[in-house]
Chain A
Amino acid sequence: GAGVSQTPSNKVTEKGKYVELRCDPISGHTALYWYRQSLGQGPEFLIYFQGTGAADDSGLPNDRFFAVRPEGSVSTLKIQRTERGDSAVYLCASSLAQAKTYEQYFGPGTRLTVT
């Protein structure tokens, strides 16, 4: 079946602009995660959704970052007033909460470049 998809694949924006990054999880996966991967680093947790609600947003770096998942499927990560330090790859992952393997399936990521 289809895996996790993310759009756009690459996004270049100017400092101060607003961006939206989209994630389409695997159908039926109730858990959805956003991670941020800076150059040369491992991914870092941003936010976790269980269904429609953000169950844990402790990884969001500041109030310029916001994410939604209104219907419990597609999620959008929104970044306001982008800064050059926001440049990174943003990864989305989904998992089946009932499965006790705890495996997260990752999308290909969106590379965000803030100029």
Chain B
Amino acid sequence: AQTVTQSQPEMSVQEAETVTLSCTYDTSESDYYLFWYKQPPSRQMILVIRQEAYKQQNATENRFSVNFQKAAKSFSLKISDSQLGDAAMYFCACLGLQGAQKLVFGQGTRLTINP
């Protein structure tokens, strides 16, 4: 079983600045994946970035990168050069590879971009 905690209900950042969203998780499984999803007002969940737990190297996707600290069970998302289109709810999620391979989500962080 997994649990995911996002302790920042809301964050705001100036356009073009950098912001970091926090996430901690717990799992009893040795093999798992971690994800950040973005959910704009349209409700569509969009994958931002994925991290395989067995990889030590932090994943990066253009302006998005993660800081994966496996021992601390921490998985933060850094958004560089923030853009107005980044405004959305961001969800951290954990997927264990046993059984249903279902996503377990955190409560979300609402990110506001100030022009």
Q: A56 touching B103 by the CB < 8 A rule?
A: no
B71 beta carbon closer than 8 Å to chain A: no
Name, among A48, A89, A102, the residue most crowded by chain B CB atoms within 10 Å (CB to CB): A102
A104 beta carbon closer than 8 Å to chain B: yes
Name, among B37, B44, B104, the residue most crowded by chain A CB atoms within 10 Å (CB to CB): B44
Selected from A44, A58, A107, the residue in CB contact (under 8 A) with B44 is: A107
Q: B107 touching A45 by the CB < 8 A rule?
A: no
Contacts of A107 in B (CB 8 A): 44
Q: A42 touching B95 by the CB < 8 A rule?
A: no
Q: A108 touching B44 by the CB < 8 A rule?
A: yes
A83 to chain B, nearest CB (A): 22
CB-nearest residue of chain B relative to A44? Answer: B105
Interface size on B, residues (CB 8 A): 25
Known: A42-B91, A101-B50. A48 touches B100 (CB 8 A): yes
Q: B45 touching A43 by the CB < 8 A rule?
A: yes
Interface size on A, residues (CB 8 A): 26
A26 beta carbon closer than 8 Å to chain B: no
Q: A102 touching B99 by the CB < 8 A rule?
A: no
Cα distance A55–B99 when bound, in Å? 9
Q: A91 touching B45 by the CB < 8 A rule?
A: yes
Interface residues in B57-115 (C-beta closer than 8 Å to A): 91, 93, 95, 97, 99-108
B110 to chain A, nearest CB (A): 9
Cα distance A58–B100 when bound, in Å? 10
Q: A108 touching B108 by the CB < 8 A rule?
A: no
Selected from A41, A45, A56, A103, the residue in CB contact (under 8 A) with B50 is: A103
Known: A41-B107, A101-B50. A109 touches B101 (CB 8 A): no
Contacts of B106 in A (CB 8 A): 42
29 CB-based A-B contacts, threshold 8 Å: A35-B103, A41-B108, A42-B4, A42-B105, A42-B108, A43-B45, A43-B91, A43-B103, A44-B105, A45-B100, A45-B102, A45-B103, A45-B104, A48-B100, A56-B99, A56-B100, A59-B102, A91-B45, A93-B45, A93-B103, A101-B50, A102-B33, A102-B97, A103-B50, A106-B44, A106-B45, A106-B46, A108-B43, A109-B44
